[in-house]
A and B are shown apart, each in its own frame.
Chain A
Amino acid sequence: MLLSSGDWTAIWLTLKLATSVTILLLILGTPLAWWLARTSSWLKAPISAIVAMPLILPPTVLGFYLLIFLSPNGALGHFLTNIGISPLPFSFTGLIFASIIYSLPFVIQPLQNAFVAMGNRPLEVAATLRASAWDRFIHVALPMAKPGYLSAAVLGFAHTVGEFGVVLMMGGNIEGETRVLSVQIYDHVEALEYAQAHTLSLLMVLFAFVVLAFLYATQKVNKQKANIGSW
């Protein structure tokens, strides 16, 4: 049961996609999660709903609208084409864009929970110790939210690895560009190459198990720490 070069390309592409998406989501998700955790604005409910929508929408619906929206004739696609950016659908960049939206709730929610759990007190304490807002965020909020960042990174990465519907709608099936693992497995099955589909599927099952086991193990440790913590 050896992997073909096409399989290897798909694995490599999937890892590249998931890594880029995770890094981008952690950067973009931090201010959004921070805002959601602290705001009392009426906008909180609608924004939270938008962030959580990928949780319940069929990925095909999401992919369909992204395709329309980003196609050269779509609202954003037209603008992007005008400023000289090549169309996003059926490209790796387009896949990153779609995955960011698709995996957003999986990154926002652990971060938001971590910021909420921390409460306001550590930041107040830091302020009375002459720490400016930026200093408080870097030296108090970030280190205290570390478990949240770990969960967010793991979930965001794993969820991106596992996506299928959005990829198929938005990215199509171009080897080396948009043919990620889940699409590769689908291709194998379509071509009745069950052995190869088995190999890749088993890899995915193992990956999912290891990731989740790791996540639950670290969450347990963090909870124990929190129980005897000083807050």
Chain B
Amino acid sequence: MNAINIRLSRSKQSRSDFALEVDLTLPNQGVTALFGRSGSGKTTLLRCLAGLEKNHQGQIAFNEAIWQSEAGDFLPVHKRPIGYVFQEASLFPHLSARDNLAFATKRANKEESVIAYQDVIDLLNIASLLEQFPHQLSGGERQRIAIARALLIQPKLLLMDEPLSALDEGLKKDILPYLEAVCSNMSIPILYVSHSLDEVIRLAQYTVIMDQGKIVDQGETQYLLGKLSTSRYTYQNTRFMIIGQITQQDEQWGLSTLSFGQHSLMISRTHEVIGDTVKLQIQARDVSIALSANEDSSIINRLAVYIDDISHNEADPNTVLVRMMAGQTPILASITAYSAQKLNLAIGQHVIAQIKSVAVLR
């Protein structure tokens, strides 16, 4: 049983409280995002896993180990093999950055240490910050030290509670690459709480959507985003992902070809080499639908697809969301209800999806 099993429930204690009702099995590898708006219960769920919340009934099992049981077993926080990154940088103010890290290394399980000190320092680029005290560091620097500290405790599971939410936009952009490096270099499973779709798309292979204390949907991030029902949780920012390999580099026009299944897209020349995997993020409003493959258009990316699902946008009744399949890959288009009516779009119909612009995630 190699997975993280969580079954928790708690009834409302007061009117401002919410009921957490969760039965969840999560992969014990890669990055899993807990996504939802604030107050959806995702942070509470993470705190339950860490053992920081005690008043929830249920069972939590990590692989073979029982952390909490219906019978009342409760493994205290400091005995759980976790690392925890809090929303705001939570460095001990009376210790230098180096001593904050030493706080973890001193208490880490030395027999099972797999994460090397120097690797963590290099990964988060913090060698030059170690002599500083927390109040001398910027918010982003503090958070990098906090992430390093959580890794140096040698966790078997890393829990991150919106580690970027306390930072301003500019700093977020600075830290995201470090987080991506942590996520792709660490062999331990990571649970990442976020209300930012951008972070989820960049970091998580698997996503769980929460709302009002309940799990509303879950699945591989790419396929979850490609479901129309997901759009009600992403609001105006409905978007989807394409993951493919670079198969061709065109020097003359500065274009790269990205292939996925039987399909391919042209994107502006990337630094990647042929064979590399590239992740694209596309806004549903940047995709339009044509009934025939008209060649008289400036749009170069046209995919032969079929319509799989259509729904009205709950936030805006004048737009319609259309889900099309390019092989196994979902493509979403946000079009006006007027166009949908005029083109007489129907499920099962073969159409051409025209993609105006793509963003390469790296």
| A and B associate | yes
Q: Residues of A with Cβ closer than 8 Å to B?
A: 121-122, 124-132, 135, 139-140, 143-144, 146, 225, 228-231
Asked if residues A230 and B134 are in contact (CB atoms below 8 Å), the reply is yes
Which B residues are CB-close (under 8 A) to A230?
88-91, 93, 134-135, 137, 142
Q: With A143-B94, A144-B94 as given contacts, are A127 and B52 in contact (CB-CB < 8 Å)?
A: yes
Q: Is B322 an interface residue (CB 8 A)?
A: no
Q: Residues of B with Cβ closer than 8 Å to A?
A: 50-52, 76-79, 82-84, 86, 88-94, 103-104, 107-109, 134-135, 137, 142, 149-150, 153
Tell me the interface secondary structure of chain A in the complex. Answer: helix
Which B residues are CB-close (under 8 A) to A146?
94
Checking B79, B90, B108 against A125 with a beta-carbon cut-off of 8 angstroms, the contacting residue is: B90
Please indicate which of the listed interface residues A122, A144, A230 has the most CB atoms of chain B within 10 Å of its own CB.
A230
Asked if residues B135 and A128 are in contact (CB atoms below 8 Å), the reply is no
Closest B residue by C-beta to A145: B94
Distance between Cα atoms of A144 and B89 in the complex (Å) = 16
Which B residues are CB-close (under 8 A) to A132?
78
Which A residues are CB-close (under 8 A) to B83?
128
Asked if residues B92 and A127 are in contact (CB atoms below 8 Å), the reply is no
Asked if residues A128 and B84 are in contact (CB atoms below 8 Å), the reply is yes
Distance between Cα atoms of A132 and B107 in the complex (Å) = 10
Distance between Cα atoms of A124 and B85 in the complex (Å) = 11
> Could you give 26 example pairs across A and B, Cβ below 8 Å?
A121-B90, A124-B86, A125-B86, A125-B90, A125-B92, A126-B103, A127-B76, A127-B78, A128-B78, A128-B150, A128-B153, A129-B103, A129-B104, A129-B149, A129-B153, A130-B79, A130-B109, A131-B103, A139-B103, A140-B92, A144-B92, A144-B93, A144-B94, A225-B135, A229-B93, A230-B135
Please indicate which of the listed interface residues B79, B89, B92 has the most CB atoms of chain A within 10 Å of its own CB.
B92
Distance between Cα atoms of A128 and B76 in the complex (Å) = 10
Which B residues are CB-close (under 8 A) to A135?
78, 107
Q: How far, in Å, is A19 (CB) from chain B's closest CB? A: 27
Asked if residues B82 and A128 are in contact (CB atoms below 8 Å), the reply is yes
Asked if residues B142 and A130 are in contact (CB atoms below 8 Å), the reply is no
Which A residues are CB-close (under 8 A) to B149?
129
Which A residues are CB-close (under 8 A) to B89?
230
Asked if residues B93 and A127 are in contact (CB atoms below 8 Å), the reply is no
Checking B76, B93, B104, B107 against A231 with a beta-carbon cut-off of 8 angstroms, the contacting residue is: B93
Asked if residues B88 and A124 are in contact (CB atoms below 8 Å), the reply is no
Distance between Cα atoms of A143 and B95 in the complex (Å) = 9
